[in-house]
Structure 1
Amino acid sequence: MKLKFVPIKFQAALAAGSVALMAFNYLQFAIPHGEGLIKISDIVWSQLSLLHSSLYALLVFIMLASSIANLILTAVFLMGLTQWLGTKNQFTALMDNPLTNITIFVPIASLSMTANVVWGPLAFYIPGLSIQTMMLPSLIYFGVLWTSLFFLEFKVAKSWFTKPVDISKLNFVWLLDVFAFGLVSLTGTGIASMAENSTIVSLASVSSLFVLSIGVFLFIAKLSFLIYMQIKNAQLPDKPILPAFFLVIPITCLLGLSFYRIMTHLQNVFSFDISVISFYFITVSYVITIGWGIFTVYLLVDYLRKDFYKSQFSPTQWGMV
C-alpha cells in the first residue's frame, strides 16, 4: 500500500545524511592530511594497524552507504514533494494549521544536510574533485534554501497571528523551524569557510549571519516557552511526541558550530583574535548539548526502557538519530 506523502518524511533522508556526516567528521579529525577536507587517497592503509584499518574501513563503508541513502531518499521525496505541492489545497491546508505547519521545515533542513553530504562524504570518494568548482553552484543552492526558509517562516508566523492556537498542545516538535535555521546557517558558513572567492565568501557569511541571528532568537524564545509550558503542565506529552525532546541537541551543536565559523571568517577579515570567544561558543554549545542529552535520557528513561521497542514508529524518533 502506497503511503501518503507528507513533508516530515524528509527526516529519513536527513537522518541518513547525519550518519554519513558523523563518519566523515571522525575521519576528518582522526587521520592526518593536508589542508581542506579529507579524501580517500589521504588514507595510507599500509601504515595502519589492523585495529585502525578495520575501524576506518567500517566508517568508509557506513559513510558510502549513508551518502547513497541520503541521495536516493532525497530524490524520491523531492518527487513526492513536487506532486504534493501540485495537489490542490494540500500546501494551504498544512500551512493554515498552526499546530502542524511546522513540519514544512523538514525538507529545508534535509536539503541543507544534503549539501553538506555532497561537499564532505561524497567528495571524499572523488580525489580529483576541486571543492572550489562547487562553490558558485553551492552559493546559488544556499540562496534558494535561504529564500525558502524565510518565506515559510513568514507563512507560519502569519498563521499564528490569524488563526486560533491552542498553546497547551505545543511540544518540542515546534523547534523544527529552528532546526532548519541551524542547518541552513551551517550550509552558508560552510561555503564561507571553504570558498576562496571573496565575493562568494562575503555573500555567504553575511547571509549566514542573518540566518544565525534569527535562529538563535527563535531558539531562546521557543525553548524558554516550551520549558515553561512543560513545567506548568507537570506531565510529559504523548509517547509519539517524547523523542522530540532530543531536537535541542543537534540545534545547539549546529548554532555553536555556525557561530565558530562566522568568528573564524571575521578573524580573517578584520585580523583580531577570536580564540576566547570561539572557545566560549564551542564550549557553551557542547556543555548545553551534553547536559540536555543526559537530562533527556533521564526524563524519558521509562519510555526508552518500556515503550520504545514496543510502540509504533513515529516521525519524532528520527530526532534521536
Structure 2
Amino acid sequence: MDAKKFTPLAFLASLGAGGIAVMPFVLMQYTLDHGAGLITRAQLWSMDLSSYQVLYYYLLEFVMILFTLIHFALTIIFTIKLVRWMKTDSFSSLIKDPLRNTGILAPLISYIMSMNVMIGPLRYFLPVLSGNFAALFFPAMIFWSLFFILVLFTEIRLLEISFKNGFDINKINFGWLLHPFLLGMLTVVGTGIAAMASDNTIANTAAFMSLISGSMGMFLLFVKMVILFKSHFQSPGLPEKHFLPSFLIVIPNITLYAISGFRLGHFLERTYGFELGAYFYFVVGLAFAFEIWYMLFGFSLLIDYFRNNHFKEFYVTQWGLICPLVAFAVLGSFAHRIVFNNIVLYGILVMFMLLTILVYFELLSKHIKCSRSSHTTLSCAV
C-alpha cells in the first residue's frame, strides 16, 4: 500500500505525541513532594528552586506544551482523513480481515489518550481546570462511559469476526496486542476516575466498569501473548521487518494494567478504608522489573533492524516504537516513588524521555517526507 493512502495506524503518531506530553507531568507528579492530589503549575513554582532547576522545569513544561499541541493537531488531521477513509471499500475490507483489523483500534486508543492529556498537561497549566477538578468528574464519567460502550462493542465485533471467519494463526504478529492495549487504555482512565472522584457513586461505577474492561483486556493479553510466542517459536527467524517494531508493544500493555491496578488500590483505600501499602510495591515493582528485562530482550532482537532498515525506510508501523519508550518511562516514574527512589533511576527516566523525543521527530520527519514527496531517498511503505 502506498504511504500516501490513509491507514488508521497513522493514529499511532498522535498517540505517541500524547504519551510524550504526559511523560514530564508523570515525572513531576511522582518525583516531587507537592502535597495531595495531582501536581499543578502553581505548586511547582511555589517551591524553592535553584536556577538550574528552574531551567530544567521550564524545559519539561515546553515538552508538555509542544507535544500536547502536536497530539491534538494530529488527532484532528487524522480524524478528518479517517472519516473520509471509512467511506471507502478499504474500510470494510480491513474490518473483515482478522489479521489486519486490529489497525482500526489505533484511533480509539489515541482518542482515549486525549483524556489523559486533559487530566495531565492541560489541567496542570489551566487553573480553570485544576481549580474545578472535582466538578469535572461527572462529565468525564459520561464521556468515558460512551467510549466504554464503543470500545466493548468494537472489541466484541472484531472477536466475532475472528471466530467466524477464521485465519492463519501462523501469520499473526505483535500488532495483535492492540486489543488489550485499547482495553488497558480504557481501564487506566476508568480507574483514575474511580481513584480520584469524590462522589462514591461515580467512583464505584467507574471501578466496576474498569473491572469489566480490565478483566477482558488481561485475558486477551495473556491468551494472545501465549499464541504469539508459540507462533514465533514455530516459525523460522524473526517476523517481517515492518512487524518488528510491534514486538515491544507488550511494554505499554504491562504499564497500563499495572497503573490500573495501582489506581484501583487507591480507590479501595479511599472508598473502603483498605490499607494496601505492600500491594502497591508488588504491582508496580513486579511490572517494572518485567519491563526492564523485556525491553533489553526486545532491543536485542531489533539491533539488525536498526542497523539495516530503520533509518533508510519508513512504514507506519514504525510509530509502534514510541509507546513502549513512553510506557517504560511512565511506569518508571511510579517505580521511582514506590519501589526505587534513586537518582540513577531518575537520570535513566530523563534519558528515556530525551530518546523518545528524538525518535519521535525522526519518525515524524520520515512520515512527512513520505507523505509529500515520491522522490524521497527513503523507501516508503505502509
TM-score over 0.5 for the pair: yes
> How well do the aligned residues superpose, as a CA RMSD in angstroms?
1.8
Aligned position for 1:144? 146
Asked which structure has the greater RCO (Cα within 8 Å, sep 6+), the reply is: 2
Is 119-128 or 211-220 further displaced after alignment?
119-128
Cα distance, 1:204 vs structure 2:
0.8
Q: Deviations over 1:149-192 (max 9, x none)?
A: 11111111121122141111101011011111111111111111
The corresponding residue for 1:95 is 95
Which residue identity is paired with 1:74? T
- 1:4 is paired with a residue whose SS is coil
2:50 aligns with 49
Separation in structure 2 between the aligned mates of residue 181 and residue 27 of structure 1, nearest angstrom:
26
* Equivalent position amino acid for 2:295 in 1: G
Please give the alpha-carbon distance, in whole angstroms, between the structure 2 residues aligned to 1:280 and 1:209.
Answer: 19
Relative to the length of structure 2, the TM-score reads 0.79
299-308 or 236-245, larger mean C-alpha shift = 299-308
Whether the aligned pair in 2 keeps the contact of 1:12 and 1:73 (CA below 8 Å) is yes
The answer to whether structure 1 residue 126 and structure 2 residue 155 are counterparts is no
Q: CA deviation at 1:142?
A: 0.9
Q: 1:83 aligns to what?
A: 84
Q: Which residue of 1 aligns with 2:367?
A: none
The yes-or-no answer on 1:60 pairing with 2:58 is: no
CA distance in 2, matches of 1:178, 1:43: 35
Give 1:318's aligned residue: 319
Work out the CA distance in 2 between the residues paired with 1:248 and 1:2.
26
Q: Which residue of structure 1 lines up, in the alignment, with residue 113 of structure 2? A: 113
Distance in 2, matches of 1:92 and 1:46, equals: 55
The one-letter code of the counterpart of 2:108 is I
Asked if the contact 2:21–2:67 (Cα under 8 Å) also holds between the matched residues in 1, the reply is yes
- Alignment partners' CA distance in 1, 2:291 and 2:196: 26
CA distance in structure 2 between the partners assigned to 1:224 and 1:46 by the alignment: 48
Which residue identity lines up with residue 168 of structure 1 in the other structure? N
User: How many pairs were matched up?
Assistant: 319
2:280 aligns to what SS in structure 1?
Answer: helix
Under a length normalisation based on structure 1, what TM-score does the superposition of the two structures give? 0.94
Structure 2: runs of 5+ lacking an equivalent: 323-382
Question: What CA distance in whole angstroms lies between the structure 1 residues aligned with 2:280 and 2:43?
Answer: 29
Task: Give the % identical residues.
Answer: 33
Q: Which of 238, 241, 250 in structure 2 is aligned with 1:239?
A: 241
Compared with structure 1, are the counterparts of its residues 40 and 192 closer, same or farther at alpha carbon in structure 2 (3 Å cutoff)?
A: same
- Per-residue deviation, residues 190-239 of structure 1 (Å, max 9, x unmatched): 11122111111111111111111111111111011111111111310111
Post-superposition shift, 1:304? 1.9
Q: Report the counterpart of residue 174 of structure 1 in structure 2.
A: 176
Residue 309 of structure 1 corresponds to 311
